[in-house]
Amino acid sequence: MRFRHRAAAGFATLLLPFAGLVGLTSPAQAAASATATATYAKTQDWGSGFEGKWTVKNTGTTALSSWTVEWDFPSGTSVTSAWDADVTSSGTHWTARNKSWNGSLAPGASVSFGFNGAGAGSPANCKLNGGSCDGGGTVPGDAAPSAPGKPTASDITNTSVKLSWSAATDDKGIKNYDVLRDGAKVATVTGTSYTDTGLTAGTDYSYSVQARDTADQTGPAGAATAVRTTGGTTDPPPTGDKVKLGYFTEWGVYGRNYHVKNLVTSGSASKITHINYAFGNVKDGKCTVDDTFAAYDKAYTADQSVSGTADTWDQPLRGNFNQLRQLKAKYPHIKVLYSFGGWTYSGGFAQAAANPAAFAASCKAVVEDPRWADVFDGIDIDWEYPNACGLTCDTSGPAAFKNLMSALRSQFGSNYLVTAAITADGSSGGKLDAADYGGASSYVDWYNVMTYDYFGAFDADGPTAPHSPLTSYSGIPAAGFNSADAIAKLKSKGVPSAKLLLGIGFYGRGWTGVTQSAPGGTATGPAPGTYEAGIEDYKVLKNSCPATGTIAGTAYAYCGSNWWSYDTPSTIAGKMSWAKSQGLGGAFFWEFSGDTGNGELVSAINSGLR
């Protein structure tokens, strides 16, 4: 598969890549200035990684216009990603400078920035704006508070809910608590209860609480509680037991301007069961977050966010992950999986396959990062060409894929979904014969069989052919390149029908320089496309080049000298009927932003699988 794996370059605010996470030491207190302090604490520790936080406080009587915190880590300890500060290093010396929007501090005010780190050392030799850091704000060794208990909800009405929780602990004492609704702070209280008002009837919310100590150090948020207010109406979740899964692309928030809220405004959120968030990267044999800005740092205004609440600069989580958290609060039936790999990043799996256990552990550390652990319900591995050639050639061997999926299931256990997107090459001796998909199926909940991209203008002169044929037909350019043959081959390898999802592309592939309407014509190259030649979204093609015929269960369109193939609501209905007749577990699609503003393709999948 080609198109669906080309990730546009994302923006990033961090100067450092997100690396594999390993443990750090206990909290440390840095050193002092006459007018300001800088204190450090380890706020998260999940065994295979940690989160650290620096807090700068103006203890003087005049305003600070900027701040720079410097410290030394011992060799082997490093910052791997950071937020709310620009962090650089020279050897073992680290420097953090304020962002343009958080450098000014009035007397008594404070600001914090955080980071993920690797290694086993503590910060030392701290300097704040060139001076020492311990101006008397806290006591050396002061640790951040623990996480408070999971809130208990009571007295739920149409517009309010009472929350109570067990107290956090701290070596110097708790000052107050922040109450978080859908990840955003809605109140600060001194006790261990709070009544949230002004809510919407019949609406789902997610609440958690974090504590602050007497030195204004904020601890980690505790476990979240889902609350649904009484009254109101909401769209019912999809009926039946079939999986209806869509891919949401990390980079779509840029040029495509497609955000999680679009799933709500299009009506698609009420018609799906699962979302694959694509893609995490695979580097150095480990899972990593790819575009950290889009994933968890991009700020959303109230009108852009699912909850209708604007992000604040100091909230623990922003970006797509926070929006997905809000979506799950609104639509509790939706499960979200973090998908790693894709066409572009599948080359990284060769190193991962050399040590499957280490790879699986790294993936779980990313999926269970405490900042977003409640967002993800599982992991999807998009290794597109194990023991075969794609963007690169893999020589891991026929058992590598099975070994990798076995390690992931062992690491994630039965409480997480473990799935894989796999090739749909049903030809004799093709990619489906290169790896042990049958043996690996015992470790997965399902396979996303990528039954599209069979034909396209990557063969510039044609022949024209539907890129997602359901069945074979007379004149098909390659035997075995169709959905029915791929599904049949997987079944013959022992994969249960219920573990197979049929793939649908929400886009078309097309050629130009074509002189005949029927499939099989010659061409001179790819047809023009909005983002890439030879590729166009369904939402554009339905108007710019309407379908003129169907073949092998897929629509095609001839307009001018251009020839396109794509699925329509009508052909999707036929494919869903076929999927049910085969006993398949459901369907999935690439990807949400190709659909119309009212989600007509998602609606066709939902209706067809009822």
Residues serving a catalytic function are 384
Helix (H, G, I), strand (E, B) or coil at 356: helix
Going along 202-324, which residue ranges are E strands? Answer: 204-213, 225-228, 243-249, 274-283, 286-288
Tokens (6 digits) for 409: 């299931």
Pick the closest to residue 361 from 344, 377, 379, 347 (CA basis). 379
Instruction: Tell me if 522 sits within 8 A of 463, measured CB to CB.
Output: yes
Element at 603 (helix H, strand E): helix 600-608
At 577, give phi and psi (nearest 5°): -60, -40
Instruction: Tell me if 503 sits within 8 A of 588, measured CB to CB.
Output: yes
How far is 18 from 365, CA to CA, in rounded Å? 12
Q: Who contacts 234 (Cβ-Cβ below 8 Å, separation ≥6)?
A: 202, 203, 204, 270
Pick the closest to residue 445 from 274, 269, 325 (CA basis). 274
Element at 575 (helix H, strand E): helix 569-581
How far is 540 from 596, CA to CA, in rounded Å? 8
- Say which DSSP state 270 is in: G
Pick the closest to residue 602 from 344, 324, 182, 235 (CA basis). 235
Q: Who contacts 142 (Cβ-Cβ below 8 Å, separation ≥6)?
A: 27, 29, 39, 41, 171, 172, 213, 215, 217
Strand order in the sheet with 124-128: 86-90, 93-97, 68-72, 124-128
| Pairing relationship of beta strands 446-449 and 500-505 according to DSSP bridges | parallel
CA atoms lying within 13 Å on the CB side of residue 444 = 32
Torsion of CA 123, 289, 381, 498, to 10 degrees: 110
How far is 297 from 281, CA to CA, in rounded Å? 17
Tokens (6 digits) for 348: 């990284």
Tokens (6 digits) for 473: 């037909």
Indicate the residue type of 133.
Answer: C
| Cis? peptide before 536, omega within 30° of 0 | no
How far is 564 from 572, CA to CA, in rounded Å? 16
Please give the span between the terminal C-alpha atoms of the chain, in angstroms, as a whole number. 29
With 0-12 / 13-18 / 19 or more C-beta atoms within 10 angstroms meaning exposed / middle / buried, residue 34 is exposed
Pick the closest to residue 487 from 466, 504, 470, 510 (CA basis). 470
Strand partners, 500: 447
* CA distances, 434 to each of 282, 344, 425, 438 (Å): 21, 19, 10, 11
Helix (H, G, I), strand (E, B) or coil at 479: coil
